[in-house]
């Protein structure tokens, strides 16, 4: 039985990275260290084996192992949501059932992708997947797998066991409509890091994102500022976060996140190819130097990984 309800997944929820070693093998020790780092920082839950976790670069057995390690290390301290999406229903069902056996509190999935599946086929996918476990389902709306229109979201929300949506897209105005027409209890997890303030302002219950691994303190402060209706502070914090996000997108963002975590004492390892890495000392020193310059140019304050770099 899950330890938490879906409503317990609150606040800032990292879309958890998956650490790999220099030979691209899953690094369990680094994973456990990163989990403790994030929990100590005050995150509200963890969303594992999603896009940021490089899930589609792993085998099903590797994905299941990552989930098992995450649940074991979390040890009931905060909720764990496991992404189990795959290209086929049978594979997703297998991953979902293994995630339930591991002890996660909820599952999530992108829609089936690659082929242009019909709306009815997408509904069938979520129906089959959701009824395969006793866990609540969080639908994942992301352009990489095909954007779900509001009418389709409404159909999916009607499936027994579907309890919410991770909505990664710019149309956050849909959040108001979801709450009004689908129901206030249908959980919305805003999934666009650069739109966290907007997502919360339009009614998201929590935020899930990649950069919450790297700068959780910035987004926790932003979440609290929005809750207090402090618009000026919210904008300032979102601007700080966005400066880091857009700078990182000049590189391989996941690799930047992993190295930035390492600079704070939470070595998140490396990425799997074809993603890039900062393997050499010169590469990493160059990245550090450019982040120091960004900090000075933008007068960024209260960002722990930048503070850890010092003045060079």
Of the CA atoms within 13 Å of residue 217, those in its CB half-sphere come to 12
Tell me the DSSP string of 141-159.
Answer: E-GGG-PPPHHHHHHHHTS
Please indicate whether residue 140 is annotated as part of the active site: yes
Q: Which of 47, 126, 166, 258 is catalytic?
A: 166
CA distances to 6, 16, 18, 107, 244 from 156, in Å: 17, 25, 29, 15, 35
Tell me the DSSP string of 237-282.
Answer: HHHHHHHHHHHHTTS-HHHHHHHHHHTTT----BPPTTS----SHH
Contact 44, 78 (CB under 8 A): yes
d(C-alpha 260, C-alpha 2), whole Å: 32
Closest CA to 254 of 242, 243, 270, 274: 270
Q: Which of 47, 125, 126, 140 is catalytic?
A: 140
Question: Could you tell me how far CA 128 lies from the centroid of its own chain?
Answer: 24
Beta strand residue intervals within 97-237, DSSP E: 106-109, 137-141, 162-167, 187-190, 206-209
Rg (the chain; Cα; Å): 19
Tell me the CA end-to-end span of the chain in Å, nearest whole number. Answer: 50
Residue owning tokens 């159909």: 155
Please indicate whether residue 167 is annotated as part of the active site: no
Tell me the DSSP string of 107-126.
Answer: EEEPPP-SS---HHHHHHHH
Residues identified as active-site? 140, 166
């Amino acid at each position: 039985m899950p330890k938490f309800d879906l409503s317990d997944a609150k606040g800032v929820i990292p879309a958890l990275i998956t650490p790999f070693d220099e030979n691209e093998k899953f690094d369990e020790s680094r994973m456990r260290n990163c989990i403790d780092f994030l929990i100590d920082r005050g995150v509200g839950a963890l969303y594992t084996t999603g896009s940021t976790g490089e899930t589609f670069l792993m085998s099903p057995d590797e994905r299941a192992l990552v989930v098992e390690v995450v649940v074991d290390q979390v040890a009931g301290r905060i909720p764990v949501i496991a992404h189990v999406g795959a290209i086929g229903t049978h594979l997703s069902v297998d991953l979902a059932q293994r995630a339930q056996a591991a002890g996660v509190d909820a599952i999530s999935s992108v829609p089936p992708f690659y082929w242009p599946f019909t709306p009815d086929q997408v509904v069938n996918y979520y129906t089959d997947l959701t009824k395969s476990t006793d866990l609540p389902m969080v639908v994942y709306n992301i352009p990489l797998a095909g954007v779900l229109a509001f009418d389709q979201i409404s159909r999916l929300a009607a499936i027994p066991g579907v309890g919410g949506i991770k909505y990664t897209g710019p149309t956050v105005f849909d959040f108001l409509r979801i709450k009004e027409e689908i129901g206030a209890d249908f959980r919305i997890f805003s999934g666009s890091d650069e739109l966290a303030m907007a997502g919360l302002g339009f009614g998201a219950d929590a935020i899930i994102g990649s950069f919450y691994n790297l700068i959780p303190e910035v987004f926790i402060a932003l979440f609290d500022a929005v809750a207090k209706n402090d618009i000026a502070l919210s904008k300032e914090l979102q601007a700080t976060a966005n400066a880091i996000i857009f700078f990182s997108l000049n590189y391989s963002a996941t690799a930047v996140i992993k190295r930035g975590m390492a600079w704070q004492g939470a070595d998140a390892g490396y990425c799997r190819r074809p993603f890039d890495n900062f393997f050499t000392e010169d590469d990493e020193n160059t990245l550090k130097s450019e982040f120091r310059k960004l900090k000075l140019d933008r007068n960024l304050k209260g960002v722990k990984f930048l503070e850890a770099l010092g003045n060079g």
